[in-house]
């Protein structure tokens, strides 16, 4: 028996195969998850061996047949895993495109069900265009042989585990941004949540990695923004979070913005907590009750901070505070949206933005600079109605010069009736807005940050075609089925979709155009805190249609 589960509109398959031989049968499931470099082991298949009650036998060998588009040189080890522990493994020393790897073992099995996983470890550097397929898995037991044909299993894409739990002494990393500079340097930014997996307030710095070879290898983690022990408070009461990166395409200057919280405002009294020490356990968040309030003082409101690099991301300025420029005094909050900003054709710098009005209702807008980052100004909320709760957003400039803002919507959480990202258009840098026809009912989300990117594709004849790409967890309930979509008509329709990771992750993402044929994406995936993956445009859409 072979059972295949297909998810609507997702070009991926999870396959379960069973074959009987003697008294033992097998079930194999190959999930659609990437094979990650820099990870100790990737579970690429789960195995279930079934036998009648009372049968005792031994598993002697497991044979896994792989094929790979660019060859199997990326694979270093294949392992048999039980209960999360490697029980047998074999080295792979081949660069051929297809190979059967045999894992020798002698594992006694008792009971009707035995569960294992097939693990795969790559080299530290992989071909990011490679695709690995599990063709079949066979088992030799003392009760006979059994083979699972995995025809139809998903193609597994190679990628990089850029940040993992407890790496460099950091508990976890979240909220990614991604940019490519005029020199071709790729910069990945994120929250380095040093002590625990929690939003502000906490010991959180904005850190980053650089790649100067197109995303194949990356620098060690470096710090871009750290408020230290400002004001005499411990670092866990001076956290910065939710970063956004913006490259000035004309000058090469790079800006990173983030939200800074100094101390804690008591969620019940609304008053700033005095006398905080390293032992204090007080906590609040800028989106929680009384977490940030009207006014400008650091004891009243969270602050919008910016650092700048003029040397391709090697060093950064001291944090600059622009809160008074962008936040109306009566508002509780105005900060950037996480991800990445854009440079308009006329040179205007644009950060996607979010905040809370005086009644604490959430909104999305833009923060812009028309003088090369010297001064900044915020627009009006994209939706005037306070009942429309939007926040995290990203933007693109359309062919007519207008800006499309794509926003997270609170109404979508678990909503199966009408689920869709909020979308609005502005022609005057956020002073006025028009609701886009697709708003609220096209791009499915579980209420999570998502990313949008404009890519100008150069065709064979030299002309260009504007493509919009969108990446998010494509599910109304959970942050699963991380997928990339493409629109050929400026977001009116999104007919092409490719799932790259079906597993559960935190879901935030950001994209860049690596080259004419390739999209790079960093996202919070199922296999690591932050995954960097490259996707060929031709895998998302049929280039012949262009």
Residue identified by tokens 């031709």 is 538
Sign of CA dihedral 166, 218, 484, 383: positive
Residue 11 has pLDDT above 60, yes or no: no
Q: Where are the beta strands (DSSP E) in 269-410?
A: 303-309, 320-321, 333-336, 339-340, 342-343, 349-356, 362-369, 377-378, 390-397, 403-409
Task: List residues with catalytic annotation.
Answer: 392
With respect to residue 546, please indicate whether it lies within any of the assigned structural domains.
Answer: no
Q: Among residues 114, 134, 158, which one ends one of the domains?
A: 158
Q: What angle do CA 217, 223, 227 make, to 5 degrees?
A: 165
- Are both 509 and 484 inside the same structural domain? yes
Could you tell me the residue range of the domain that residue 202 belongs to? 164-539
Q: What is the mean pLDDT of residues 520-546?
A: 97
At residue 327 the predicted structure's pLDDT band, cuts being 50, 70 and 90, is very high
**Tens digit of pLDDT for each residue in 236-274?**
999 999 999 999 999 999 999 999 999 999 999 999 999
pLDDT value of position 94: 81
Domain boundary among 110, 139, 158: 158
pLDDT of 362 above 70:
yes
* Same domain, yes or no: 240 and 132: no
3-state secondary structure of 386: coil
Domain CATH for 406? 2.120.10.10
Looking at residue 22, what is its pLDDT? 60
Residue 507 lies in a domain: yes
Measured CA to CA, the distance from residue 193 to residue 263 in angstroms comes to 17
Strand partners, 193: 172, 204
Predicted confidence at residue 23, as pLDDT, reads 82
Q: In terms of domains, do 239 and 313 share one? A: yes
pTM beyond 0.85, yes or no = yes
- If asked whether residues 239 and 150 sit together in one domain, one would say no
In this structure, are 123 and 270 located in the same domain? no
Residues 26 and 30: their CA atoms lie apart, in Å, by 13
Please compute the mean of the pLDDT values over residues 506-523 and round it to a whole number. Answer: 98
Q: Do 220 and 75 share a structural domain?
A: no
Query: Backbone dihedral region of 373: left (phi > 0), alpha (psi from -120 to 50 degrees) or beta?
Result: left
| Secondary structure letter of residue 146 according to DSSP | E
269: cis peptide before it, omega within 30°?
no
Task: Give the Cα separation of 212 and 191 in Å (integer).
Answer: 22
Residues 359, 382 share a domain: yes
- Residue-wise pLDDT tens digits, 132-144: 999 999 999 999 9
Describe the chain by its helix, strand, coil percentages, rounded to 5: 5, 50, 50
pLDDT band at 14; cut points 50, 70, 90: very low
At residue 266, the 3 state secondary structure works out as coil
Residue 43, pLDDT > 60, answer yes
What pLDDT does residue 8 have? 31
Same domain assignment for residues 169 and 316: yes
Q: Are 59 and 109 in contact (CB under 8 A)?
A: yes
- For residue 354, pLDDT over 80 is answered with yes
Out of 122, 141, 158, a domain closes at 158
Q: Which residues pair with 485 in a beta bridge?
A: 470, 497
User: What is the CATH classification number for the domain harbouring 96?
Assistant: 2.60.120
Q: Are residues 205 and 154 in the same domain?
A: no
Tokens of 530: 């932050």
Q: Are both 116 and 226 inside the same structural domain?
A: no
For the chain, how many structural domains are there in total? 2
Same domain for 80 and 197? Answer: no
Report yes or no on 544 lying in a domain.
Answer: no
**One domain, residues 288 and 414:** yes
In-domain check, residue 12: yes
CB contact set of 462 (below 8 Å; sequence gap of 6+): none
Q: What is the mean pLDDT of residues 345-349?
A: 98
Confidence bin at 4 (pLDDT 50/70/90):
very low
Q: Phi first, then psi: what are they for 167, rounded to 5°?
A: -75, 135
Tell me if 191 is assigned to some domain.
yes
At residue 53, the pLDDT reads 82
With 90 as the cut, is the pLDDT of residue 7 above it? Answer: no
Q: What average pLDDT does range 387-400 have in this prediction?
A: 98
In DSSP terms, 62 is beta-bridged to 103, 139
Lowest mean pLDDT among 16-20, 78-82, 135-139, 444-448: 16-20
**Percent over 70 (pLDDT), the chain:** 96
| pLDDT tens per residue across span 293-304 | 999 999 999 999
Residues 6+ apart with CB under 8 A from 433: 380, 382, 383, 405, 424, 425, 426
Mean pLDDT for the chain?
95
Q: Is residue 275 part of a domain?
A: yes
For residue 146, being part of any structural domain is answered with yes
In a domain, 141, yes or no: yes
pLDDT, tens only, 191-202 = 999 999 999 999
Tell the residue number behind the tokens 């490679």, with chain if given: 130
pLDDT at 233: 98
């Amino acid at each position: 028996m072979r059972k295949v589960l297909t998810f609507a509109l997702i070009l991926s398959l999870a396959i379960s195969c069973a074959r009987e031989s003697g008294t033992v049968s097998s079930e194999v499931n190959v999930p659609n998850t990437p094979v990650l470099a820099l990870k100790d082991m990737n579970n690429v298949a789960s195995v279930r061996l079934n036998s009648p009650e009372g049968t005792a036998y031994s598993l002697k060998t497991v044979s896994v047949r792989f094929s790979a588009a660019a060859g199997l040189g990326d694979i270093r080890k294949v392992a048999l895993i039980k209960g999360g522990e490697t029980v047998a493994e074999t080295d792979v020393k081949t660069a051929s495109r297809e190979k059967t790897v045999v894992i020798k073992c002698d594992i006694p099995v008792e009971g009707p069900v035995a569960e294992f996983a097939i693990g795969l470890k790559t080299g530290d550097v992989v071909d990011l265009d490679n695709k690995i397929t599990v063709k079949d898995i066979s088992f030799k037991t003392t009760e006979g042989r059994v083979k699972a044909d995995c025809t139809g299993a998903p193609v597994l894409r190679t990628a990089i585990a850029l940040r993992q739990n407890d790496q460099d002494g950091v508990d976890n990393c979240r909220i990614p941004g991604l940019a490519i500079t005029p020199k071709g340097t790729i910069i990945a930014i994120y929250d380095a949540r040093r002590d625990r997996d929690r939003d502000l307030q906490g010991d959180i710095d904005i850190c980053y990695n650089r790649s100067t070879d197109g995303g194949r290898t990356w620098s060690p983690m470096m710090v871009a923004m750290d408020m230290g022990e400002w004001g005499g408070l411990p670092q866990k009461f001076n956290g910065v979070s939710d970063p956004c990166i913006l490259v000035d395409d004309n000058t090469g200057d790079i800006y990173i913005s983030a939200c800074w919280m100094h101390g804690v405002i008591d969620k019940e009294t609304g008053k700033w907590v005095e006398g905080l020490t390293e032992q204090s356990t007080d906590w609040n968040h800028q989106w929680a009750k009384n977490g940030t309030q009207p006014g400008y003082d650091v004891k009243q409101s969270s602050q919008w901070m910016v650092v700048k690099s003029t040397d391709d991301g090697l060093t950064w300025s001291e944090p600059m505070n622009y809160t008074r420029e962008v936040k109306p005094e009566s508002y509780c909050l105005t900060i950037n949206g996480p991800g990445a900003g854009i440079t308009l054709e006329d040179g205007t710098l644009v950060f996607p933005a979010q905040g809370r009005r005086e009644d604490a209702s959430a909104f999305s807008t833009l923060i812009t600079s028309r003088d090369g980052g010297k001064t900044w100004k915020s627009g009006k909320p994209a939706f005037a109605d306070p009942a429309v709760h939007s926040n995290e957003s990203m933007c693109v400039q359309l062919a007519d010069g207008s800006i499309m803002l794509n926003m997270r919507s609170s109404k979508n959480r678990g909503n199966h009736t009408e689920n869709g990202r909020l979308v609005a258009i502005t022609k005057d840098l956020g002073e006025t807005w028009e609701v886009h026809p697709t708003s609220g009912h096209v791009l499915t989300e579980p209420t999570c940050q998502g990313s949008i990117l404009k890519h100008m594709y150069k065709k064979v004849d030299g002309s260009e075609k504007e493509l919009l790409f969108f990446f998010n967890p494509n599910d109304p309930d959970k942050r699963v089925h991380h997928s990339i979509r493409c629109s050929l008509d400026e977001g009116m329709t999104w007919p092409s979709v490719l799932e790259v990771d079906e597993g559960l992750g935190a879901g935030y993402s950001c994209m860049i155009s690596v080259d004419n044929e390739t999209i790079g994406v960093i996202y919070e995936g199922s296999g690591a805190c932050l995954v960097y993956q490259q996707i060929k445009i031709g895998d998302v859409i049929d280039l012949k249609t262009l």
